[in-house]
Structure formats: C-alpha cells, structure tokens
Amino acid sequence: MNSRELRIRGWDVVVPASAAVSWRARRIGRLTDYQRRCGALEEVIANNPGELAIICHAQRELVLMLGAAERIGRNGLAGL
C-alpha cells in the first residue's frame, strides 16, 4: 500500500504534503466524557505512517477497555 493512501479503521488520516510535516489522524467515532477523562484522544500525531498506525491501534484498544470499565462503573460486574 502506498503511504499516500494510508487507511486506519476508525480514523480519518491526514497525509502530510511533505516529509517535514507530521502525520495526523482524527477519530471518526465519538468519545464519552469518561473516555476523554481517562486519556483517550480525539486526534493523534506521529512522525511517520507506521508510528501513526500503532498509536491509532493503541488508542482503539484503550477505548475498548475504557468502555468496559465505564460499564462496570455503572452496573458492577453485570456491566460486562
């Protein structure tokens, strides 16, 4: 895949016009206040497409885990 066509599930990737500019991705879905408070980001910045892909994946996993924690916080273990 050409880095000019980088696609990351759940993220809108902004391909830099030149190598001197950082890669950016903005989350497509919405975050809850709880997820934002606990460190989930709406936008991430990286030096290259590989780094960006890893950061986006880590953020996606974080949001999944925070969603589970948020449900447990509301409903106890029955929230799982």
Which of 66, 68, 65 lies closest to 36, judged by CA?
66
**pLDDT score, position 17:** 87
Q: What pLDDT, on the 0 to 100 scale, is given for residue 1?
A: 44
Low-confidence ranges of the chain (pLDDT < 50): 1-3
Q: Where are the domains of the chain?
A: 3-79
Q: What is the reported pTM? A: 0.82
pLDDT for residue 20: 77
The pLDDT assigned to 80 comes to 59
Measure the CA–CA gap between 68 and 14, rounded to whole angstroms. Answer: 30
Predicted local confidence at residue 23, as pLDDT: 95
Identify the helix (H) or strand (E) that includes residue 64: helix 49-75
What per-residue confidence (pLDDT) applies to 79? 57
Structure tokens at 76: 């106890």
